[in-house]
Amino acid sequence: MDTRTVLTIAGMAAVTYLIRSLPQLVLGDRRIPTGLDRYLRYLAHALIAAVIAVSLFLARGRIETEAAPARAAALAAAIVVAAWSGRPVLGMVAGAAVVAAFAA
Amino acid sequence: MASVPPTPSARAPFRTGAAAAVPIWLAFVPTSFALGLAARAYGLGLGEVLLMSAFVYAGPAQFAALEPLASAKPAAQVILTTLLINLRFAVMSAAIAPYFRGVGRTRRLLAAHVLSASSFVLPFAHFQRQGALPAEGGARADEGRRNLDYYLGIGLTSFVVWVVGSGAGYLAALTVPAAFGEALRFLLPGYFASLLTIELRRGPAMGVAAASFLAALPAAHLWGDWGWLGSAVAIGTAALLAERWIRARS
C-alpha cells in the first residue's frame, strides 16, 4: 500500500470519526440548532454537486472536451432514470451504459 | 411518553435491529460493489479500498476521494472535502444521542463509528414511533441500552456488508475488460448525480446543487482544486443567507 494514500485515508478516518463521536460527548442530550442543521445540508449538497462536475469534466486542471459529450449524455441519463425509478444505483448503471455505448 | 415493551433477552434488540436492516444491506450491496469497481478503475489497491471502507465508512466521501487519491492531490484537500461532506453525521449523531441516555460513554463512542445515513434513519424513526426516549437521570438506563443494541443491530451488520461489498466489487473489477474502463469511471459521478436527484427532487436544495455544479468548473479553472471547493462552500453559505433573508421578509 502506498504510504501517502494510507496516511490520507487515516486523516479522512480521523475527521469522520470526530464528526460522528463529538456530538455524543459534547452535546449530550441537546440538539444541534436548526439553522446549523440546514447549513450543513446545503454544504453537503453543494460539495457533492461540485465533485460531480469536477470528476466528470476535469482532468489535471483541464476540461476533457473530447469525452464531455458522452459524459454529459450519461449524466442526463443517470438523472432521468434516478428520478423515474427513485433508485440511485439504477441511475448510475444507466449512465455507465450510455458511456459504454459511446465508447463502443 | 410510552416506553418500549420489555424484550425477552438482552440480545433481542440487536437481532431485531439486524432483521430490520435487510433493506439497508440490499441497498449497500450494489453501492459498495460500485465503490470497489470504481476504486479499481482509479488504480487504488485492494488494501486501500478495504482500509477506507472500514475506517472512513462514508459512501459519498469515499467516492469523492477516489480521484484525488489516484492523482496524488494534497492530503489536506482530500481531508477537508471529507470533513465537509461528512458534517451531516454530526447532526445525525446529535439527534440520536438522547435515545442512548444512560449508556456508558465508551460504548456510545464505539457505536458512533457505524453511524451512516441509513443506519441513522431506520433506528431514529423506530425510536420515535416507539416513544423510546429514556427518562432523564438514568432511572431508565435499560431503555438506553436496548436502543443502542437495536441501533447496533442495524449499524454493525450494515457496516460489515459495506466493507465486504467494496472488497468484492474491487475483485470483480479485475475481470472487467479494459474497454469498460471509461464506464467504470462514470460510476462515481453517476452515483452522486442519481443520489442528489432523488434527495433533492423537491425544495431549494436542487438549486444549490445546480449552482454549485455550474460554478465548479470555472472556479477550478481559475483557482485550481481549492477553487471548486471554495465555490461550493460559498454557494452553500449563500443559500442559507438567502433562505434567512426570504424568511425575514415574509
pLDDT in tens, chain A (104 residues): 789 999 999 999 999 999 999 988 876 666 667 787 788 778 878 888 888 898 888 876 677 888 889 999 999 999 999 999 988 888 988 998 998 888 87
Contact B36, B171 (CB under 8 A): yes
Residues of B in contact with A73 (CB under 8 A): none
Nearest Cα residue in chain A from B110: A21
What are the φ and ψ backbone dihedral angles of A41, each rounded to 5 degrees?
-70, -45
CA gap B5, B143 in Å, rounded: 10
CB-based contact, A71 to chain B, within 8 Å: yes
Residues of A in contact with B213 (CB under 8 A): 49-50, 52-53
Q: How many CB atoms lie within 10 A of CB A82?
A: 27
Residues of B in contact with A39 (CB under 8 A): 236-237, 240
Q: How distant is the Cα of B16 from the closest Cα of chain A, in angstroms? A: 24
Q: Which pLDDT score is estimated for B9?
A: 52
Contact A28 B97 (CB under 8 A): yes
* Cell, residue B15: 437481532
Report the SS3 class of residue A31: coil
What are the φ and ψ backbone dihedral angles of A63, each rounded to 5 degrees?
-75, 130
pLDDT tens per residue across span B24-82: 787 788 788 888 988 988 889 999 999 999 999 998 889 889 888 988 888 999 999 89
Q: Which pLDDT score is estimated for A61?
A: 66
Question: In angstroms, what CA-CA distances link B56 with B112, B114, B180?
Answer: 12, 10, 28
* Short-list B191, B84, B185, B39, CA closest to A59: B185
Residue A65's identity, in one-letter code, is T
The secondary structure element, H or E, covering residue A35 is: helix A34-57
Q: Which pLDDT score is estimated for B6?
A: 46
Report the SS3 class of residue A63: strand
User: Can you give the C-alpha Rg of chain A in angstroms?
Assistant: 19
SS (H, E, C) chain B: CCCCCCCCCCCHHHHHHHHHCHHHHHHHHHHHHHHHHHHHHCCCCHHHHHHHHHHCCCHHHHHHHHHHHHCCCCHHHHHHHHHHHHCHHHHHHHHHHHHHCCCCHHHHHHHHHHCCHHHHHHHHHHHHHHCCCCCHHHCCHHHHHHHHHHHHHHHHHHHHHHHHHHHHHHHHHCCCCHHHHHHHHCHHHHHHHHHHHHHCCCCCHHHHHHHHHHHHHHHHHHHCHHHHHHHHHHHHHHHHHHHHHHHHHC
Q: Which pLDDT score is estimated for B205?
A: 81
* Cell, residue B161: 456488508
A18, with CB counted inside 10 A (0-12, 13-18, 19+), is middle
Residues of B in contact with A76 (CB under 8 A): none
Q: What is the pLDDT along chain B (250 residues), one digit of tens a residue?
A: 444 444 445 559 999 999 988 877 877 887 888 889 889 888 899 999 999 999 999 988 898 898 889 888 889 999 998 998 888 788 788 878 888 888 888 999 999 999 987 788 778 878 876 766 666 655 566 888 899 999 999 999 999 999 999 999 899 888 877 667 677 778 778 887 888 888 787 677 888 999 999 999 999 888 876 788 889 889 989 999 998 898 888 7
